[in-house]
Structure 1
Amino acid sequence: MTHRSETSEAMAGGLTIFAAVMLIIAGIFGVFRGIMAIAEDDIFVNAPNYIFKFDVTGWGWIHLIVGVVAILVGLSLFKAALWARIAGVVIAALFMIVNFLSLPYYPFWSMILIAMDGFIIWALCVVRQKDLA
């Protein structure tokens, strides 16, 4: 019986660390993507006739702010606090929405980050709090 709880604790800790590292990486990517958009880099594609039409500089600020918050929450996840897990799910969901809405500007990278955010949400939701205690 002790072996099973040790295994579930190790797995829960591993998934939380995975989510923390992935959220920090996603946050760093968001910060870099935000800086590129704020600097009006030519790397972003401008899709005409897209229903969600936004200014690339405005998207840059959104990515930059959400990226910084994601890094801070990711660092807090190393403490395995419940509030950090909840905030991590919220931030990853926000990143998912932001990346969906920015699909016309950088489609391939947006799809990769949407999948990455899905793994973050999964890793934070599958772990029970009692396994972390």
Structure 2
Amino acid sequence: MWSTPSAAQQRFDRSGVVLYWGLVPAAVVAHTHDVEELHGGVPKAGGEVHQLVVALFDMATGRRIDDTVVRTQVSEIGIPDAAPKYLAPMKINEQVSYGQAFGMDKEDPYRFKVRVRLAQRQEDIEFAFSAWSPDRAER
């Protein structure tokens, strides 16, 4: 179920939806988006703060999906799973993506479960993937 850990980004498709994701240090996002405004502030869990950004597309039409609900839960080895968080819609280059800040320990890989709820479906579409910290190269 889990992907091989990726260092920065990947693409998945499931049930007619294409998901692109990226994991970046929150400081990178802070240059263009106010973390306080988007996510209610830096996570209180501590650790390294990273931003998970997700872009969704309809596989059949290629149209960007900008009207859905996205929730994510992150897991780390040896740490109890965090509660799921909603990914807030955010504009990047005038295109809607979804993002959320997570406080994570530097021991990785991190495991993400992303659940997408489309308006026309009753069930969530679940994506699961693993990621290395973007600052892993610094270690």
Higher-RCO chain (CA-CA 8 Å, sequence separation at least 6): 1
Query: Is TM-score (shorter-chain normalized) higher than 0.5?
Result: no
| Structure with the bigger percentage of strand | 2
- TM-score range with shorter-chain normalisation? under 0.3
TM-score with structure 2 setting the length? 0.27
